[in-house]
Amino acid sequence: MMLAVRSASTTPFCPIVGFVSMAEDEGGLGYGSGTFHFSVQVPIDREPATVGNGSHIAFAVEDRSMVDRFYASALEHGGTDDGAPGLRPNYDANYYGAFVRDPDGHKIEAVTYSAK
């Protein structure tokens, strides 16, 4: 998928989960927060990106409203539902998360253990 599409689907939710855009060039997009950094890259072989089987990125956020805003923003910008915001008591009594797929099919989650 083209970087413009990735940027349009990834960049809007970054401020919600506490990340800012740090770098952008023809090879990729970089985001960070403090000492943590992640990037969305064009594959080195220039072939289409593929989805990792059994992998996903999870952003730990402060409260449930941030999970809800992440989910709404992701869907608004081309993501698809892979688990609406809600409690997942099979993980933890306060585990509140939402799962989306980006336009390339990668699973992305926002999660909090906050009871509020």
User: For residue 62, what is the DSSP state?
Assistant: S
β partners of residue 63: none
The per-residue pLDDT for 64 is: 97
Q: How far apart are CA 33 and CA 18, in angstroms?
A: 6
Reported confidence tier of residue 1, pLDDT bands at 50, 70, 90 = very low
> Residue 35 pLDDT more than 80?
no
- Strand intervals (E) in the chain: 20-25, 28-33, 36-41, 56-60, 80-87, 96-101, 107-112
Decide which of 29 and 62 is more confident. 62
pTM: 0.74
Q: Which domains does the chain have, with CATH numbers?
A: 3-42+56-112 (3.10.180.10)
Q: Which pLDDT tens digit goes with each residue over 38-70?
A: 777 777 787 877 777 666 888 899 999 999 999
